């Protein structure tokens, strides 16, 4: 996990924020929890091959508490009866209608985790140790609950922060290298080659799998300052309420 610098809380297209919560969402695939109603959704998914709109609309939301990262993903699906879910634990789940989470959990650019889940909550998870590595099987303690609706399917994901190398509760402004993809097989022949019309990805216009093309997922806010509106009266050092200077540094922590 990395730490960002001070700056205005304006997000680039490849940046997103996970909202802090003290009420963990129920893991049921409903996406009706209070936190999901408060968090803005992240659109901006695209076909990584063309950079254009995905074949099926997709969005996500993110939240966290002291122990877990939570993701809510909504996937448009006009013909739910054709959803494909044949994969088994750690085998061919990516060939199903599924969601894939990619997280870089160390400072090594080529190392990352890949977590895949389908509509039956069957998981395939890998730890990639180098750019050329096919990934080794890695059984994470993450959990999911999917739900198929009349014209969509959803999944809620809970990933323990300890699995991501986050020691203790995240600090506001810290971030993870992150990307999320969706496999769409319901409208395609089972063995169709290539990825055209089959996948979409956030951030937009990036590579799908592999160790490149990551965006940033910030905890709490991109800005390290809690009092970004400069309200109140500054102290003798010029710090406003909720600013705490660190001697010997040029930054602040909340």
Scan for tokens 């014209």, then name that residue: 151
- Higher-pLDDT residue of 62 and 133 is 62
Kindly indicate the confidence band of residue 75, based on its pLDDT and cuts at 50, 70 and 90. very high
Do the strands 15-20 and 215-219 form a parallel or antiparallel pair, or are they unpaired? parallel
Q: Which of 26-40, 84-98, 131-145 has the lowest mean pLDDT?
A: 131-145
Do the beta carbons of residue 205 and residue 48 sit within 8 Å? yes
Mean pLDDT of 168-190: 87
pLDDT of residue 130: 64
Q: Given its phi and psi angles, is residue 37 left (phi above 0), alpha (psi -120 to 50 degrees) or beta? A: alpha
Give the mean pLDDT of 194-201.
76
How confident is the model at residue 140, as a pLDDT? 82
CB neighbour list of residue 121: distance below 8 Å, 6 or more residues apart:
144, 145, 146, 155
What is the model's pLDDT at position 248? 32
> Across residues 155-174, what is the average pLDDT?
89
SS3 content of the chain, % helix, strand, coil (to 5): 5, 35, 60
- State in words which class domain 2-223 has: mainly beta
pLDDT value at residue 105 = 76
Phi, psi of 202 (to 5 degrees): -115, 130
pLDDT digits (tens, 9 = 90+) for 213-253: 899 999 999 876 554 555 555 555 444 444 443 333 333 33
User: Cβ(135)–Cβ(207) under 8 Å?
Assistant: no
DSSP state of 42: B
Q: Which pLDDT belongs to residue 107?
A: 77
Contact 118, 107 (CB under 8 A): no
* 250 vs 139, more confident: 139
Q: Pairing relation of β-strands 58-64 and 215-219? A: unpaired
With 50 as the cut, is the pLDDT of residue 15 above it?
A: yes
**pLDDT > 70 fraction of the chain, expressed in percent and rounded:** 77
Instruction: Please tell me the total number of residues recorded for the chain in this structure.
Output: 254
């Amino acid at each position: 996990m990395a730490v960002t610098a001070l700056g205005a809380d304006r997000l680039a297209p490849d940046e997103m924020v996970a909202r802090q919560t003290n009420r963990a969402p129920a893991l049921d695939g409903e996406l009706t929890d209070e936190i999901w109603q408060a968090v803005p959704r992240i659109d901006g998914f695209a076909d990584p091959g063309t950079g254009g709109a995905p074949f099926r609309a997709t969005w996500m939301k993110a939240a966290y508490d002291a122990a877990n990262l939570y993701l809510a993903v909504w996937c448009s699906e006009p013909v739910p009866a054709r959803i494909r879910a044949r994969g088994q634990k750690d085998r061919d789940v990516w060939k199903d209608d599924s969601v894939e989470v990619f997280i870089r959990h160390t400072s090594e650019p080529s190392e990352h985790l890949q977590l895949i889940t389908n509509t039956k909550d069957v998981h395939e998870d890998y730890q990639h140790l180098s750019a050329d590595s096919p990934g080794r099987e890695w059984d994470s303690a993450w959990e999911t609950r999917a739900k198929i609706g009349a014209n969509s399917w959803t999944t809620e994901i809970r990933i323990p922060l300890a699995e991501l190398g986050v020691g203790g509760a995240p600090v506001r402004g810290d971030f993870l290298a992150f990307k999320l993809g969706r496999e769409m097989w319901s409208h395609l022949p089972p063995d169709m080659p290539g990825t055209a019309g089959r996948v979409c990805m956030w951030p937009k216009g990036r590579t799908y799998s592999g160790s490149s093309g990551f965006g940033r997922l910030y905890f709490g806010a991109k800005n390290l300052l809690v009092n970004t509106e400069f309200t109140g009266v500054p102290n003798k050092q010029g710090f406003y309420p909720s600013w705490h200077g660190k001697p010997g540094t040029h930054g602040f922590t909340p």
